[in-house]
Amino acid sequence: MELSSPDREPTPPPPSPSDGELVARVLAGDTSAFDELIRRYQRQAVAVSYRLLNNVDDALEVTQNAFVKAYASLASLEKVESFGGWLMRIVSNLSLNFRRGRAGRRHLSLHDGGDEGQADAPVQQQWQSNTAGPLHQLQSQEMGEKLKNAMSQLSDKQRQALVMFTIEKMPQKQVAQTLKCSVEAVKWHVFQARKRLKELLADYL
Amino acid sequence: MNRDQLEFAVSQYAEGGLSADQEAALKQVIEGDPEAEKILEVERSLSSLLAVGLGEVPAVDYEQLFGNISQAVAQADAPQVKTYRIGSWNWPARLALAASVLIVGFVGYHFYAPSSGPVISNGVAVEHPQQIANAPRSSTQIQVLTAAISSPSAASAVSRIAIGPSPAAATAALGHYEGVFSSRSGKVAISAGLEPADKPDFPY
């Protein structure tokens, strides 16, 4: 009974389908294939959105909207294999729009600071948890605020490139697809972002 | 390598964006250049500042998020590949489409069809080569060759005039008047032409 022999090597799991194959299946009517795409990219989408918005609840909302938008306009995706970059472009554009909308709402709000405080909370908590003592906490709060302000002074492209490449460690090629530019342009945006941050954060370097 | 180039290279090095060869070459530069070493130190400080200052993404229940997104997607319209079926169009739309196709075909033919214009022969445009009238070839002056075409049809009595030296005159004159040709602006005088025989009010 050779087939039932315990020495027989286990059959390798089937290779997971590529993004292009999943997209093709969705377009052919197999909507369950989109679930695999959601599982594949939801963490990255949340991370990118969170870095751009500094608020996890907003990031989750943007992520959900981005997937729904991607699903509805999937037929317009020209290169099905670049689904990841395309989705991140939707995520980052929605995040930037959300950010602008939030800035507008805050500007109009009489209770300025409430929204901002919530947005900063996760960043500050994380930073605070890594330090000890009231002096360090004060310093870290000040630095966290300074870092947030410095990031907000970057251009959209610089901030997106920095978040995706430097902070989220996405491959340069995918960042280039997301920003609709060349890999060299991504390097340039990252360089310019870092250069600007070095100027703005000179006291902390 | 100037300061900007050095900063760019060191920034890429700190980000891990250089190839192995580039990295090895830059290491050598950094070892022998205190300024480059200082730039690298600042870049590394910035990287750790970003890593620590921004922290990790807060914990998220990704199973719940997946469920929410999946539900929202299920309620959304399925992606539709747009198709256009001419059979479902009404007759004005069909007529407009047919007219558009005809117009495009006509314009395309007009611009891209092989030219039925004059034959180019020795640089002289000749509409009806057998009917061309050459000026005397013995003259050493620049000859103006005029050709009036007596066409069988009145509508095209004077359809095209080709102007320029005849090949013989050009050959004879070029040797003696090469300088004249190159230094003077070209002037053309038509010495004679034929009136259209059966269409006196022809404007040209």
pLDDT digits (tens, 9 = 90+) for A19-77: 999 999 999 989 899 999 999 999 999 999 999 998 999 999 999 999 999 999 999 99
Question: Rounded to the nearest 10 degrees, what angle do helices A56-72 and A83-108 cross at?
Answer: 130
Q: Which amino acid is residue B46, in one-letter code?
A: L
| Confidence (pLDDT) at B110 | 83
Q: How many C-alpha atoms does A78 have within 13 Å on its Cβ side?
A: 1
Do A75 and B80 contact (CB within 8 A), yes or no? yes
Q: Is the pTM of this model over 0.80?
A: no
Chain B nearest CA to A5, separation (Å)? 38
- ipTM score above 0.90: no
Residue of A nearest to B15 (CA): A166
Interface test with B, best of A27, A48, A126 (most B CBs within 10 A): A126
Write down the residue that tokens 């605070």 correspond to. A128
* End-to-end Cα spacing for chain A: 69
**Average confidence score pLDDT of chain A:** 81
pLDDT for the residue B3: 82
**What is the distance of C-alpha B195 from the center of its chain?**
44
- Nearest Cα neighbor of B17 from A12, A21, B26, B173 is B26
Arithmetic mean of pLDDT, A158-174: 91
Give pLDDT tens digits along chain B (204 positions): 788 888 899 988 888 878 888 888 888 888 888 888 999 999 999 988 888 887 788 999 999 999 999 999 988 876 766 555 666 677 888 889 899 999 999 888 888 776 555 544 444 444 454 444 444 444 444 444 444 444 444 444 444 555 666 666 666 655 555 555 554 555 566 665 555 555 545 444
The 10s digit of each residue's pLDDT in A98-131 is 988 876 666 554 444 444 444 444 443 443 344 4
Contact B76 A72 (CB under 8 A): yes
Instruction: Identify whether the C-beta of residue A198 lies closer than 8 Å to the C-beta of residue A151.
Output: no
Number of C-beta neighbours around residue A54 at 10 A: 22
| Dist CA A30 CA B67 (whole Å) | 18
